[in-house]
């Protein structure tokens, strides 16, 4: 369980508040019940006391103790009602004392006596402990023609104490159980209430520059959550618009640049081919032609990236035999490798089918082979191989070249990034080859990764997800013509 999560902290606060509320309710209930029971016991004792007072008040001057006892036994029945009654005539003669109560909860003889003189008011209430039993005793004094009497009337608090103990035990068990249930329920409720936020973050996680139309789910809660999802969606729409504007600008600019570049190239080639330019002029035009070719290469790369960013339609996708495509590409690049004194190897392998655009997939292989050949010194080797690993179809381009420094590995797929700018530019590279390869891989749901060690060589690995069973379409042979890195556009 994540202790810093919103659900946990909300549930914790909720549990603390609930525990405090339950504790207050429990304490209130306990003391409220105690007050109520004591008050009704006091009332009952008061009523019985009044009955005894009436008996004494009605007695004539010479009334006997036996008459008083009999009247009390008949009208108050202390033993039967579990009461204690003691009547003392001042200055200290015992007139009546009730016997053991029916529930045997206390011994009446053990109740410490009071004296008429001790009472400075007409009535005193006290709690005494007799043989570990608490008794509530009401003492009243009354003056009658037959004398001055002290009436003590009491009862055991045992049943009230037992009831309170039971209530305490019940609250002690019930309240923690309730708190635990409420805490669990609260945590589940908060987690459930936060599920829309989870869904929003999952959707946001899967959004990419290839999927600019994706929007967050709008939760119809009518509160801040709904407003948040709607505001984020509005923001995504604005972002999509501005991304589309800059993509369109890039696509238009590179498209517009192609024609004048072709014209310039054609004109220059014509001048070089004719007799008009000789000597140094001819040389200079030759180097301008090289720059024009580099510009053409760059513009084609930008156009390819803008089309890939725009999410090329997948209508052209076919089941492509990757092994056949790799073999034909390697064959077409063999000459370039041999020119540079590099051995290009392609070990045979069983056919492997991937779903995609064959010309774009070929472009990836060309870009990787082109880099491997360019960055491997004379006498080195470049190997192109295919295979499967963990259910994925894998294509690797390995070389024994100069390698890539660890610090640059994370950036080689960035646009316009070149490890060694001077060397790369001399070779005609603009730092777009790997980013084009990566964009094509992303569009095909494939992964591209690189492992490299300076001075030992590099390995670029593509991982294609397997085609789901039953979704295969007829495979097409590899495109017969190999074009330049970006020339397939």
299 contacts ligand ADP (rule: CB under 6 A): no
Residue whose CB is less far from ligand ADP, 59 or 429: 429
Distance CA 373, CA 344 (A): 9
Backbone angles phi, psi at 478, to 5 degrees: -60, 150
Of the candidate residues 111, 342, 364, 372, the single one contacting ligand ADP (CB under 6 A): 372
Q: What is the b/e burial string over 260-287, where b = at least 16 CB atoms within 10 angstroms of the residue's CB? A: ebeeebeebeebbeeeebeeeeeeebee
Q: Which of 356, 358, 380, 431 binds ligand ADP (CB under 6 A)?
A: 431
- The answer to whether 475 touches 320, Cβ cutoff 8 Å, is yes
**Quick one: which segment of 37-45, 171-179, 261-269, 368-376 binds ligand ADP (CB under 6 A)?**
368-376
* Minimum CB distance to ligand ADP, residue 434 (Å): 3
Based on the shown chain and the rule CB under 6 A, indicate whether residue 401 belongs to the binding site for ligand ADP: yes
Cα distances (Å, whole numbers) of residue 441 to 119, 121, 308, 461: 103, 102, 10, 11
- Whether 366 and 489 have beta carbons less than 8 Å apart is answered as no
Query: Between residues 185 and 377, which has the closer beta carbon with respect to ligand ADP?
Result: 377
Which region, judged by CB under 6 A, interacts with ligand ADP, from 8-16, 185-193, 245-253, 399-407?
399-407
433 lies in the site for ligand ADP, by CB under 6 A:
yes
Task: Supply the minimum distance, in Å, between the C-beta of residue 375 and ligand ADP.
Answer: 3
Find all residues with CB under 8 Å of 459, minimum gap 6, and list them: 396, 397, 398, 399, 450, 451, 452
Torsion sign, CA atoms 47, 109, 103, 124: positive
384 binding ligand ADP? (CB under 6 A) = no
DSSP notation for 358-383: HHHHHHHHHHHHHHHHHTS-TT-EEE
Q: Half-sphere exposure of 118 toward its Cβ, with a 13 Å CA cutoff?
A: 13
CA-based radius of gyration for the chain: 50
6 vs 410 by CB, closer to ligand ADP: 410
Residues 461-480 that bind ligand ADP (CB under 6 A): none
For residue 430, the minimal CB distance to ligand ADP (Å) is: 6
* 429: contact with ligand ADP by CB under 6 A: yes
Q: Between 1 and 422, whose beta carbon lies closer to ligand ADP?
A: 422
- In the complex, minimum distance from the CB of residue 405 to ligand ADP, in angstroms, rounded to a whole number: 9
CA distance 409 to 464: 21
Query: Which stretch, 108-116, 125-133, 135-143, 395-403, contacts ligand ADP (CB under 6 A)?
Result: 395-403
Q: What whole-number distance in Å separates Cα of residue 420 and Cα of residue 365?
A: 22
Closest distance between ligand ADP and the C-beta of residue 311, in Å? 21
Task: Return residues touching ligand ADP (CB under 6 A).
Answer: 367, 371-372, 375, 399, 401-404, 412, 417-420, 424, 429-435, 458
């Amino acid at each position: 369980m994540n202790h810093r999560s919103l659900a946990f902290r909300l549930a914790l606060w909720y549990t603390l508040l609930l525990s405090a509320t339950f504790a207050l309710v429990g304490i209130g209930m306990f003391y409220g019940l105690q007050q109520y029971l004591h008050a009704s016991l006091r009332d009952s004792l008061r009523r019985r006391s009044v009955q005894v007072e009436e008996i004494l008040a009605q007695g004539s001057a010479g009334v006997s103790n036996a008459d008083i006892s009999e009247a009390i036994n008949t009208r108050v029945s202390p033993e039967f009602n579990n009461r204690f009654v003691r009547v003392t005539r001042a200055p200290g003669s015992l007139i009546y004392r009730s016997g053991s109560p029916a529930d045997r909860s206390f011994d009446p003889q053990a109740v410490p006596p009071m004296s008429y003189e001790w009472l400075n008011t007409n009535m005193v209430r006290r709690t005494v402990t007799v043989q570990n039993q608490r008794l509530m005793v009401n003492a009243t004094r009354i003056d009658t023609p037959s004398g001055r009497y002290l009436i003590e009337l009491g009862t055991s608090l045992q049943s009230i104490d037992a009831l309170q103990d039971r209530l305490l035990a019940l609250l002690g068990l019930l309240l923690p159980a309730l708190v635990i249930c409420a805490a669990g329920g609260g945590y589940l409720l908060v987690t459930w209430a936060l599920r829309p936020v989870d869904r929003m973050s999952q959707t946001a996680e899967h959004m990419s520059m290839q999927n600019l139309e994706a929007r967050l789910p709008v939760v119809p809660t009518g509160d801040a959550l709904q407003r948040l999802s709607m505001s984020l969606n509005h923001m995504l729409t604005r972002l999509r618009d501005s991304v589309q504007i800059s993509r369109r600008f890039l696509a238009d600019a590179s498209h517009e640049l192609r024609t004048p570049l072709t014209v310039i190239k054609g004109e220059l080639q014509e001048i070089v081919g004719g007799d008009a330019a000789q000597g140094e002029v001819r040389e200079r035009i030759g180097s301008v032609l090289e720059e024009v070719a580099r510009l053409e290469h760059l513009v084609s790369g930008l156009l390819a990236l803008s089309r890939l960013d725009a999410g090329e339609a997948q209508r052209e996708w076919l089941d492509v035999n990757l092994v056949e495509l790799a073999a034909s590409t390697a064959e077409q690049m063999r000459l370039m490798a041999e020119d540079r004194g590099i051995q290009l190897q392609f070990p045979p392998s069983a056919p492997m089918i991937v779903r995609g655009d064959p010309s774009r997939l070929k472009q990836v292989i060309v870009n990787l082979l082109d880099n491997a050949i360019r960055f491997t010194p004379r006498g080195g080797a470049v190997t192109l191989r295919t295979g499967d690993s963990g259910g994925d179809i894998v294509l690797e381009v390995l070389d024994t070249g100069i390698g890539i420094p660890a610090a640059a590995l994370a950036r080689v797929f960035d646009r316009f990034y070149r490890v060694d700018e001077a060397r790369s530019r001399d070779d005609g590279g603009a730092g777009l080859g790997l980013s084009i390869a990566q964009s094509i891989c992303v569009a095909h749901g494939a992964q591209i990764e690189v492992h490299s060690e300076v001075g030992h060589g590099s390995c670029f690995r593509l991982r294609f997800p397997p085609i789901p069973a039953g979704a295969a379409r007829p495979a097409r042979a590899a495109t017969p013509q190999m074009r330049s890195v970006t020339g397939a556009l």
